[in-house]
Structure 1
Amino acid sequence: MDYTIYEYSLGTALVLMLFFAACFLMVKTPDKPIFGNYIRSCHLMGVALLLLSANYSVHLFCNLRFLYLDAAILMNLSTYFISYWLFSSALTALLDRFYLTRRRFLRHILYWLLFSALSGAVLIALPQGAVQHVGLFLMTLWLLAYGIYLSRKLILTYRWAVRLFDDTYSEHIAAYIRWMSAFTWWAIIYGVSCGLLTFLPDRYVFLWVLSSIPFYIYLYRSYMNYLLFYEQVESILEKETHEGVEEVCRNVEEMPNETPAYHANIEKKLTVWVGMDGYTSPGLTIEELAGKLGTNRTYLSAYIKSTYHVSFREWIAGLRLEYAKRMLIEHQEWTIARISETSGFLSQSYFMKIFKEKEGCSPARWRKAQA
């Protein structure tokens, strides 16, 4: 059988992975302490790519898959297991700097050693045939379950960060980390595929290799783009710990129905604040608003959710949109950029996006329709 396509695809993927690994390991950031967590995450990614590159190198230069199939399967299963951990840890650490601990690291290393030892036992000790196939099937299920477990942890951390941003800041900070969610779901699909494609017939193995190229290109591009927003996101995350945020969320969720006097007091003060167009102040936070109202962020957040059934960000965005619509009518000479800025939006593109989502057309077209 001609393995030329397989060798070329493997060689191309190997060169790209080594390039990206070097970029991650030698990443350059501004000389500020806040970027330490970003650098650590990049280094974890670099190590993961080096391990996968070593895997590809053995396949390319030793023809392991075609000469020693059992050894190739064992190497693939073991490599994917530790790579799952490195990939998920690198991404989770971007949102939770307390996630990577020595105890957790050692525990997952033990998991990896145990998984590799059992996989080796299945391939070496069990007789070939149906019994070995069942053993390999079980080890593959273990690998996939482990990957899904790690992905679930990452997705929960991502949702925690989104909830934190939306309940605290008027700007759409969560947009800066959306790539992590997209990449995680892609990683789940790709990881499952890798586990299954290991057992593909030889003639189709190149498909498994080629599938990694766009995956890692997207990963590297996302990391480099995130560097532009990392300082802003990390500075926000530094103000909160998991314990603090969970306490706030628990207080909000368990808050009993407030007395009418409490609601009336908040409503009265908010009415005055809204009447003064206070929401047009860019970069507004719920802490700032709570200070102006003489309350705290927990009670204010609970009031907004129970009254308007939206997050702080969504509530402020709605007020700003209504203000922008008034300005579109009252100031026909104003540009869309000026109206966006006057309404409190830091990003004109975000203003255009949510305006179209709510009204079904652009601000300019809406203005013409009203005229």
Structure 2
Amino acid sequence: MAFLEHYYISLVQCLGTMYLVVALVLWFFKAPDTDVFRPYLVSKMLLAVCFTFLAIDMFACLIIFDVNGLYTDWPLIVLDLSLYYIVAKIFSFAFSNLLDKSYLTPYRLKKAALKALVISSLLIIPLCHCVIEPAKYVCVGIALSLITKFYIDFVVFLYRRLKKMKADIDNYYSEDKTDRLEWVHRCIILVVILGTFATISVFQGVLFNLCFHLSLVFFNLYFVIGFLNYKDIFAGVAKAVVAEEVKGEGSKPTASSPATSDYTIGLIESKVTKWVDEKEFKKSQFTIEEIAQEIGTNKTYLSNFINSKFGDNFSVWVTKLRVEESKSLMIEHPDSKLETIAFEVGFSSSSYFSKVFSKYEGASPAAWRKVRGG
């Protein structure tokens, strides 16, 4: 037991030091100070605060646990649960704000402060000597229920927001760029797993907490490294998402609404038809905003026209046009390399071309051409 206790204390000390170092890295990490990067900078600051509290939590663990039991007394139970909730709440603000720049509203902040007050009050009640032992457990149980509800609401928000962001990106770029959100998706899965273990760890002994903290280290390092790298693609993601947020504001008329005249719809349709006939979709890496400017219309109208007319988002619509063009080229030029055809119709790589062709045609480009005698 003496060895285990020494090992546990040494590990916690190392973790606390590491979290302080990570907090300092986040504080001093530079990102462009522009309106586009404002949510990223705010999330960076919140994460720095979060890792500072994590360091405090690690050092607090040195006095919360003993090697043989769960907790030493009620004040330490209150301290651990309070720090756990604070860290989780700050992290949720940082992650949510990164995905939705309008998340940190005064209403949400006031609501979070009220919940924190209620949970703190429930956790403080067991410290009163006049409260009987069963009542203490009831208060802690209610507090844990509220924390669990917060955690579930947080995960639900993340999944809904991720789905919305994927739709925004698909409706903005000419190719599938949702791989830019892969880090976000993985982090959400890890949040689900670690959040569950975090709740369980509150009532477990040293061995379980050792395993939990070790797994938490890997998650935190993965999240921070991913967050720092996310800076390089944040502007591209934010541009697509902002475009969709602006599109949804107010009561702007859409191509499918009565406020849009038949003349406007007809004008957009004629320009889109001309754009397709001239095979402008064979260009690589463009956005719906660029096409709207090119044909002299509004990206809002263009987006809604494509969605209502063809039943597809912008990315899928362009991809289908390219796939159809590639089929024509494979028939007309049976000796051409598939890679050459892929680049000619606008795909960024032959592997991506093969992937989407198989998705829509049910066979690879090579198999499709072989069946048709190419």
**For this structure pair, what is the TM-score category when the shorter chain's length is used for normalisation?**
0.7 to 0.9
Residue 67 to residue 87, structure 1, CA distance change in 2 (3 Å): closer
Q: Counterpart of 2:96? A: 92
Instruction: Give the structure-2-normalised TM-score.
Output: 0.81
Cα drift, residue 11 of structure 1? 4.4
Question: Would you say 1:128 and 2:98 are equivalent positions?
Answer: no
CA deviation map 1:51-83 (0-9, x unaligned): 012111121366467562423332232122222
Residue 231 to residue 294, structure 1, CA distance change in 2 (3 Å): closer
Q: Counterpart of 2:146? A: 142
CA deviation map 1:254-312 (0-9, x unaligned): 73699998876655543332222121223333344445555543443333223332211
CA distance in 1, matches of 2:44, 2:51: 11
SS of the equivalent of 1:168 reads coil
Question: Would you say 1:14 and 2:19 are equivalent positions?
Answer: no
CA distance in 1, matches of 2:20, 2:343: 45
**Which structure 2 residues correspond to residues 199-214 of structure 1 after superposition, within 5 A?**
199-214=203-218
Instruction: Give the structure-1-normalised TM-score.
Output: 0.81
**Which structure 2 residues correspond to residues 181-196 of structure 1 after superposition, within 5 A?**
181-196=185-200
One-letter identity of the residue aligned with 1:28? K
Cα drift, residue 193 of structure 1? 2.4
**Which structure 2 residues correspond to residues 57-96 of structure 1 after superposition, within 5 A?**
57-60=59-62, 63=65, 68-96=72-100
8 Å CA contact 1:282–1:344 kept in 2: the answer is yes
**Which structure 2 residues correspond to residues 311-326 of structure 1 after superposition, within 5 A?**
311-326=313-328
Q: Unaligned 5+ residue runs, structure 2?
A: none
Q: Unaligned 5+ residue runs, structure 1?
A: none
8 Å CA contact 1:16–1:213 kept in 2: the answer is no
Q: Counterpart of 1:160? A: 164
8 Å CA contact 1:89–1:100 kept in 2: the answer is yes
CA distance in 2, matches of 1:169, 1:182: 22
Cα drift, residue 331 of structure 1? 4.6
One-letter identity of the residue aligned with 2:157? K
CA deviation map 1:309-347 (0-9, x unaligned): 221111111212222344445456655554333322345
SS of the equivalent of 2:113 reads helix
SS of the equivalent of 2:133 reads coil
8 Å CA contact 1:27–1:39 kept in 2: the answer is no
> How many residue pairs get matched?
368
CA deviation map 1:175-227 (0-9, x unaligned): 31332233124213322321222112444332322221221122023213312
Considering only aligned residues, what root-mean-square deviation do their CA atoms show, in Å? 3.6
CA distance in 2, matches of 1:38, 1:195: 28
Q: Counterpart of 1:118? A: 122
Residue 139 to residue 34, structure 1, CA distance change in 2 (3 Å): same
Query: Which of 228, 233, 239 in structure 2 is aligned with 1:229?
Result: 233
CA distance in 2, matches of 1:237, 1:182: 20
CA distance in 2, matches of 1:14, 1:331: 64
One-letter identity of the residue aligned with 1:19? V
**Identity in percent:** 27
Residue 364 to residue 143, structure 1, CA distance change in 2 (3 Å): same
One-letter identity of the residue aligned with 1:75? L
Cα drift, residue 140 of structure 1? 0.9
Residue 321 to residue 249, structure 1, CA distance change in 2 (3 Å): farther
CA deviation map 1:93-145 (0-9, x unaligned): 2233343356644552343233222212145464224x433332221110011
**Larger RCO (alpha carbons 8 Å, 6+ apart):** 1
SS of the equivalent of 1:283 reads coil
8 Å CA contact 2:65–2:206 kept in 1: the answer is no
Query: Which of 19, 24, 27 in structure 1 is aligned with 2:29?
Result: 27
